[in-house]
Structure 1
Amino acid sequence: MKKIPQKWKKTRMKQMNKFKDVMDNILSEIDKGSKFVLTSHVSPDGDNLGSTLAMYRFLNKTGKNVYYVLDDDIPSGLSFLAENIEKLSSSQFDDNNYIFISLDCGDIGRVCVSEEIIKNAEKRICIDHHYSNKGDFSDINYIDVDASSTCELVFNLLRRYEENMKTEIIDSETATLLYAGLLTDTGNFQYSNTHPSSFEMAKVLLERNADRDRVVQKIYQSNSFAYYRILGDALGTLEITDSKVENARVASITVSIDMMKKHGIGYNEIDSITPYTRDIENVEVGIFLKERKPGEIKISLRSKNFVDVSKIAAAFNGGGHVRAAGCTINDSIENARKIITDYVLNSF
């Protein structure tokens, strides 16, 4: 059995200790503040929603006025996470004297609210785990690129609050939100960002009555009929290209606006097609391209072993993680596929 290196354990513990001052600084600002605006990145995913809404519930439970603002739709498969929480658009928010908290946003271009809301905040706090985050759009940054998810950082923050206040703040609903984000960002504990701390976090959340069965059923076992119809069409676009490295091929799948219209499914409802590009024998990099609007192609990149897809995404003004990243190419979907595939092949 492969053991976790002692060096890794010590490094992770050192990282955790390093962020105690940052966490205490954030908790101090929360204690002093009375009004908060929370948001995350465009195209909501499980970690986006889990971290933001867990923070929302924490602030609400500690007597703060909290506004959840996001200029995007929540995918139907994740809407259960936002039950009983009102989501506002930027145009619906008109207030002042607030602290702004962005969660799971690697750069300011991904923050899914208006520039005015960011600019007018009394203070800006960023909680994130993306490699691409330079920490240049917030006053206080809690950025840990070694964390499995932003939900793990929120979990650490709430546990720090519990330690300082000698009380429990993570209830069943908050635990469920954090578990959802942890599960999705680790790919159900399959991805390389799954660490011992991920399982320790899961243990605590289950002890706090996280509704594991509901999360699993809603996220992984409730796909619509339309999803499977478009998945069939999408797999029909699959292309696999050999690289100069043996047993390290590149696979790509495309989904156009016309395909989404044909099956009556939304842009944010099909991201779970992405792993199909990577989960093929001898494929090192998977590429999923979906057309947001004519001439704007969202690209999701996944790798298995040695390709750092965050560097590839960065070349197109995107970002993400070593094994999972994304970017946008403004071109036709056919040209975008050729451009990104050629770039990936040249990066081997």
Structure 2
Amino acid sequence: MKNNIESIIKYLKGSNDDFIVTSHISPDGDNIGSTLAMYYTLNKLGKNVYHVLDDNPPQNLKFLVENMNILKSEEVNLDSYNIIALDCGDKNRMCISQKLIDNAKKIICIDHHASNDYYGDFNYIDTEASSTCELVYNLLIEYEKKENINIIDEDIATCLYTGLVTDTGNFVYSNTHPSSFEMAKELLSKGAKKDTIIQKVFQSNPYNYYKLLGEALNTLDVVDGKIASITITKEMLKRNVISFNDVDGITPYTRDIEGVEVGILLKEKKENEVKISLRSKNYVDVSKIAKSFNGGGHIRAAGCTIYSSIEDAKKKIVEAVVKAIQGDKNE
């Protein structure tokens, strides 16, 4: 079922089953913000709800989950339950066990990735939306109107605002629309803690982050003036005592160079497993590049994993980006 908010609201209201809220691997602001907002909402509606994620949030988002009990899949023992998958464009990237996915009564998918194939029993997908948090916001506003109740409180507003500002780069990226500013205005009026969010997300990087950044910038490589890449090895992470999930903020340094169209961050998770983050500026659809490596994402921001050495992964992804740029130029 595609893009039917009313059907989702009707199901949420009528179901007496438990709910699991979850998202994609390698959590980010939209991931955490949308899942927490939905968790708090279902709690307010009197539902039994569990936040399940088999990964750890990055340091700059831990302020959102300080009082939250995030479960791992092995801690969950439920008979009849539904899954709400938020900000997860691919069923295979859901950050819970396959057993939980297979045994769910229904899957509700709320997402804004272009690569989403409508894998849910209920789907609310809008690839033009700034963030999944914007879709959750739309759903909650509609729920409030239909049921004549107030749902969005200070906690929910703070979660939704976090996802909005992180996925829009604090309203800088091309996915920022008039609706994004309208949403921000409404969330602020409902108590979203803007100053706390900005300080925690953008202004509280640990000292070790900057030590790693200095080392990472020494790997900066520019190809044909159009492609820039930075490489982070597992040894660099270990040497600088910083976790894999805490360095995605380095990605924009690849894109934000004059003349560069596509930026690439390569992060070595373990031997022969490299996460690739792709960013483009004007015309290259990086989601197509990511999809060719079984990844996905958005036109201007996407990612994938290459199971090879970091040197080979760099060679493969740069070659794919070169072809994409040449193809776009010829069109």
Structure 1 Cα separation of the partners of residues 3 and 121 of structure 2: 14
Q: Name the residue aligned to 1:164.
A: 146
Structure 1 residues 99-114: aligned runs within 5 Å: 99-114=82-97
Structure 1 residues 76-87: aligned runs within 5 Å: 76-87=59-70
Report if aligned partners of 2:2, 2:124 keep a CA contact under 8 Å in 1: no
Report if aligned partners of 2:3, 2:125 keep a CA contact under 8 Å in 1: no
Structure 2 Cα separation of the partners of residues 21 and 122 of structure 1: 19
Q: Secondary structure at the match of 1:88?
A: coil
* Deviation of 1:20 (Å): 11
Q: Deviations over 1:257-309 (max 9, x none)?
A: 00000011000010100001001111100000000110000000000000000
Matched, 1:285 2:267: no
Report if aligned partners of 2:2, 2:125 keep a CA contact under 8 Å in 1: no
* Deviation of 1:123 (Å): 1.0
Q: Secondary structure at the match of 1:264?
A: coil
Structure 2 Cα separation of the partners of residues 241 and 56 of structure 1: 45
Give the alignment partner of residue 290 of structure 2, picking from 310, 313, 317. 313
Residue segments in structure 1 that go unaligned for 5+ positions in a row? 1-18, 243-247
Structure 1 Cα separation of the partners of residues 139 and 64 of structure 2: 20
Matched, 1:132 2:115: yes
Structure 1 residues 1-348: aligned runs within 5 Å: 22-34=4-16, 35-136=18-119, 138-242=120-224, 249-348=226-325
Number of residue pairs aligned between Structure 1 and Structure 2? 324
Structure 2 Cα separation of the partners of residues 193 and 330 of structure 1: 30
Report if aligned partners of 1:33, 1:98 keep a CA contact under 8 Å in 2: no
Q: Deviations over 1:137-196 (max 9, x none)?
A: x11111111110000000001000111111221001100000000000001111111000
Residue segments in structure 2 that go unaligned for 5+ positions in a row? 326-331
Structure 1 Cα separation of the partners of residues 52 and 99 of structure 2: 13
Q: TM-score, normalised by structure 2?
A: 0.96
Structure 2 Cα separation of the partners of residues 166 and 33 of structure 1: 19
Report if aligned partners of 2:2, 2:118 keep a CA contact under 8 Å in 1: no
Q: Secondary structure at the match of 1:184?
A: helix
Q: In angstroms, what is the RMSD of aligned CA positions?
A: 1.2
Q: TM-score, normalised by structure 1?
A: 0.92
Q: Name the residue aligned to 1:5.
A: none
Q: Secondary structure at the match of 2:4?
A: helix
Structure 2 Cα separation of the partners of residues 166 and 71 of structure 1: 36
Runs of 4+ in 1 over 2 A off after TM superposition: none
